Amino acid sequence: MRFAHVRLPESAEPELAVIQNGAAVPVAGLFAGAPCRLQALIDGGDELLDRVRSAAAGAEGIPLDGLAYGPAVDEPPVVLAIGLNYSAHSSELGLKADAAPTVFVLWPNSLSSHEATTSWPRSLSESVDYEAELGVVIGRPAKDVPASDALSHVWGYTVVNDITARDIQFSEAQWSRCKSFDGFTPNGPFVVTADEIPDPQDLHIWAVVDGQTVQDASTGQMIRSVATLVSHLSQSATLLPGTLISTGSPGGAGYSRDPQIFLRDRSSVTVGVDGIGELTTHCRIIG
């Protein structure tokens, strides 16, 4: 199934909807007590998802044209990001992919949505970069999970743009702040359930900045697969339902290009993953 948070004509805030046949079916209207947020749906487990699936079958919705989106994953317990998970990207940044994954946390204020505008002060950074990434949403608590069983703990997948202030990234020992400006973690517009993605290592992933294709790769090029990442992360801490894992970016970052391509005032960047969707962010630089 495909879900999104959409702002309905009568709603002040985005609410959960099933996306089918080019329309949004509000989940809250399907039956009494139905969830209106993705996190509540995930917390309800397989039984609640099956009930929503049955209730939505054949239901008519509101055409998507003209509807605004919220972040597909908007209230995760935590956002865990993986760095240097594609050889081409680690090489172009001049950084070594270590024996263990590079892991950092993204702050909740950074979450943003499809077609939203992300702005930042010129005084903070003029070297803001894009990173197309596959987002993984955990469904069942995962603790000490072997890689062979890790995908059974995945609820679904989304698209993430891990926007990064490169000058800050290379001036500080940690990466959370440079990637956690307000609006620097847009995700969505859709999250698809795991059964829609038979193999997360066989997906085309790309990015387009101001009409120019700048990243064009396959998730099969990850150094560590989704299953390996989930297993590794679960060894140190229980991965709670709703946790969002951003799995790293392929080569083609603007920092490494000659000439460099950074996000400018009024730039538009679209990142996408086959089978999930395309996520567009508009950029404004203040000052």
Residues 6+ apart with CB under 8 A from 180: 106, 107, 109, 110
What pLDDT does residue 44 have? Answer: 98
Q: How high is the mean pLDDT of the chain?
A: 95
What pLDDT does residue 130 have? Answer: 98
What pLDDT does residue 90 have? Answer: 62
> 114-129 burial, b if ≥16 CB within 10 A, otherwise e?
bebebebeeeebbbbb
- Helix residue spans in 29-178 (DSSP H): 38-43, 45-56, 87-92, 147-150, 166-169
What pLDDT does residue 12 have? Answer: 85
Report how far residue 283's alpha carbon sits from residue 269's, in angstroms, rounded to the nearest whole number.
Answer: 8
Residues 6+ apart with CB under 8 A from 145: 153, 230, 231, 234
Residues 6+ apart with CB under 8 A from 283: 117, 118, 119, 128, 263, 264, 265, 266, 267, 268, 269
Report how far residue 183's alpha carbon sits from residue 186's, in angstroms, rounded to the nearest whole number.
Answer: 6
What pLDDT does residue 216 have? Answer: 97
**CATH 3.90.850.10 residue ranges in the chain?**
79-286
What pLDDT does residue 129 have? Answer: 98
Q: How confident is the model at residue 9 (pLDDT cuts 50, 70, 90)?
A: confident
Q: pLDDT digit string (tens) for 227-250?
A: 999 999 999 999 999 999 999 999
Answering whether pTM is above 0.85, one says yes
Q: How confident is the model at residue 97 (pLDDT cuts 50, 70, 90)?
A: low
What pLDDT does residue 105 have? Answer: 98
Q: pLDDT digit string (tens) for 181-233?
A: 999 999 999 999 999 999 999 999 999 999 999 999 999 999 999 999 999 99
For residue 180, the SS3 value is coil
Q: Fold for 79-286, please state it.
A: Fumarylacetoacetate hydrolase; domain 2 (3.90.850)
Q: pLDDT digit string (tens) for 20-64?
A: 999 999 999 999 999 999 999 999 999 999 999 999 998 999 999
Q: pLDDT digit string (tens) for 144-162?
A: 999 999 999 999 999 999 9
What pLDDT does residue 11 have? Answer: 83
Mean pLDDT of 261-270: 98
What letter represents residue 286's amino acid? I
